[in-house]
């Protein structure tokens, strides 16, 4: 019988990032593959049968696999330089909840599975929730297989190296039909539970959100020999996009826009870039407000590109509309938890949000005393993690009893 904290401590040295701080664990890289093996061994210790689906998502079955299963889980990958809890807390809590239930000799009355989703953060291939998107057919196999990481390796290369068949990647109705209800436990990524003064909460909604890649192209040239008047420097419209993101999102109620990733080619101090890729993350309370922000930023970026004699292409890499979690399932969770659990919205995306369009889905949040996430300062106290495990165990017991 292990606590969530003990299980997290068993993986604390996997994928540490000495340059960025925190963890860099990305879909099918060395660190994530090591974590997958670790999870598979932990599931085995609990007598769960592990299988990997066509899209690289791991399923650990307590009892026979079946339709209408109760499924819980999260992901093991991180953003570059991420915290220890985003993803892994949901996975270790699922294992610890199984321990709690097995200690009580609970026998599930319906199929029950733990899941680990592949490439949730999109830290390697750019598209978030890739495992659940592929499973549900939200992203096509063709699009996914062609995605490239920073080294130029494709998703097709990565899945092949991990022992999967690229020809079998894609929408998997059979696997999807096994999920009757999905519950994801996750560290909270803001200050909601701090403000409420509660260790555990239930998600109500997720902001609409997406990623857009802007490629600005100009004329690569010498930083010293090129007069300021004859330049076509794509870094100029790229910078304008960064400023426009702040301005545009600040003008739309509840919206957020971020540029956290810029890649100049070739990326030399004494070189005017020939092209710059800028990744925009934009979110909002609904589709209309999110799209308004992106349109305003795009218009400003296009104008800035024209002013500098550069070209720009814009690619929508991913998008998901606002998610409102299933209210009946939320009530079932509240019931299982004695009716006293606060509901709170989130600005973060999750596999639960992708699955919500297909099956009743819910999320449990565990308090994060720093309110910081996607950074090494992300945290959850051991007692709150145990409160999360206890809550998840009660929910599994109630829904699978």
Residues making contact with ligand GLV (CB under 6 A): 121, 128, 348-349
Query: CB of residue 84 vs Mn ion: minimum separation in angstroms?
Result: 12
Nearer to ligand GLV, 249 or 312 (CB): 249
- Binding partner at 77 among Mn ion, ligand GLV, none, C-beta below 5 to 8 Å by kind: none
Interface residues with Mn ion (CB under 5 A) are 86-87
Query: CB of residue 375 vs ligand GLV: minimum separation in angstroms?
Result: 12
- Binding partner at 234 among Mn ion, ligand GLV, none, C-beta below 5 to 8 Å by kind: none
**Structural tokens at position 250:** 């600040």
Kind and range of the H or E element at 30?
Answer: helix 30-45
Nearer to ligand GLV, 305 or 354 (CB): 354
**Structural tokens at position 66:** 């079946």
Task: Give me Rg for the CA atoms of the chain.
Answer: 22
Nearer to ligand GLV, 31 or 399 (CB): 31
* Sign, CA torsion 316/126/320/194: negative
Query: CB of residue 233 vs ligand GLV: minimum separation in angstroms?
Result: 30
Nearer to Mn ion, 86 or 308 (CB): 86
Query: CB of residue 90 vs Mn ion: minimum separation in angstroms?
Result: 7
**Cα distance between residue 263 and residue 92, in whole Å:** 35
- Residue nearest Mn ion (C-beta atom): 86
Q: Which residue has the tokens 């349109």?
A: 295
Nearer to ligand GLV, 70 or 348 (CB): 348
Query: CB of residue 283 vs ligand GLV: minimum separation in angstroms?
Result: 8
**Structural tokens at position 212:** 């857009």
- Binding partner at 87 among Mn ion, ligand GLV, none, C-beta below 5 to 8 Å by kind: Mn ion
Q: Which residues contact 192 (CB under 8 A, 6 or more apart)?
A: 201, 342, 344, 345, 346, 365
- Binding partner at 128 among ligand GLV, Mn ion, none, C-beta below 5 to 8 Å by kind: ligand GLV
Helices 382-400 & 327-336, crossing angle to 10 degrees? 110
φ/ψ region of 324 (left if φ > 0, alpha if ψ in -120 to 50, else beta) reads: beta
In the chain, helix, strand, coil percent, each to 5?
35, 25, 40
Nearer to ligand GLV, 100 or 354 (CB): 354
């Amino acid at each position: 019988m292990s606590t969530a904290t003990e299980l997290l401590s068993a993986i604390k040295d996997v994928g540490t990032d000495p340059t960025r701080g925190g963890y860099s664990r990305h879909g099918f890289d060395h660190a994530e593959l090591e974590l997958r093996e670790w999870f598979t061994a932990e599931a085995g210790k609990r007598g769960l049968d592990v299988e990997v689906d066509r899209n690289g998502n791991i399923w650990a079955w307590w009892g026979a696999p079946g339709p209408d299963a109760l499924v819980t889980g999260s992901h093991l990958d991180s953003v570059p330089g991420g915290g220890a809890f985003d993803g892994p807390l949901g996975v270790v809590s699922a294992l610890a909840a199984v321990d709690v239930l097995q200690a009580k000799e609970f026998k599930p009355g319906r199929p029950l599975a733990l899941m680990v989703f592949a490439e949730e953060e999109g830290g390697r291939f750019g598209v978030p929730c890739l495992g659940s998107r592929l499973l549900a057919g939200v992203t096509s196999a063709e699009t996914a297989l062609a995605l490239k990481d920073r080294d130029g390796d494709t998703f097709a290369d990565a899945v092949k190296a991990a022992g999967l068949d690229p020809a079998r990647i894609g929408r998997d109705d059979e696997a999807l039909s096994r999920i009757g209800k999905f519950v994801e436990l996750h560290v909270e990524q803001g200050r909601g539970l701090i403000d409420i003064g509660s260790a555990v909460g239930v998600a109500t909604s997720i902001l609409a959100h997406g990623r857009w890649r802007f490629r600005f192209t100009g004329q690569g040239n010498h930083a010293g020999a090129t007069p300021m008047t004859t330049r076509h420097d794509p870094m100029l419209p790229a910078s304008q996009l960064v400023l426009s993101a702040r301005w545009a999102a600040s003008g739309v109620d509840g919206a957020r826009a971020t540029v956290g990733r810029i890649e100049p080619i070739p990326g030399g101090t004494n070189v005017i870039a020939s092209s710059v890729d800028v990744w925009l993350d934009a979110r909002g309370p609904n589709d209309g407000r999110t799209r308004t922000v992106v349109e305003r930023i795009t218009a400003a970026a296009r104008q800035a590109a024209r002013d500098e004699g550069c070209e720009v292409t814009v690619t929508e890499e991913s998008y998901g509309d606002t998610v409102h979690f299933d209210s009946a399932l939320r009530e079932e969770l509240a019931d299982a938890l004695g009716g006293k659990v606060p509901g709170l919205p989130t600005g973060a995306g999750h596999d639960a949000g992708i699955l919500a369009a297909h099956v009743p889905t819910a999320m449990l949040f565990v308090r994060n005393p720093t309110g910081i996430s996607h950074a090494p300062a992300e945290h959850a106290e051991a007692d709150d993690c145990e409160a999360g495990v206890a809550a998840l165990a009660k929910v599994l017991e109630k829904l699978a009893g």
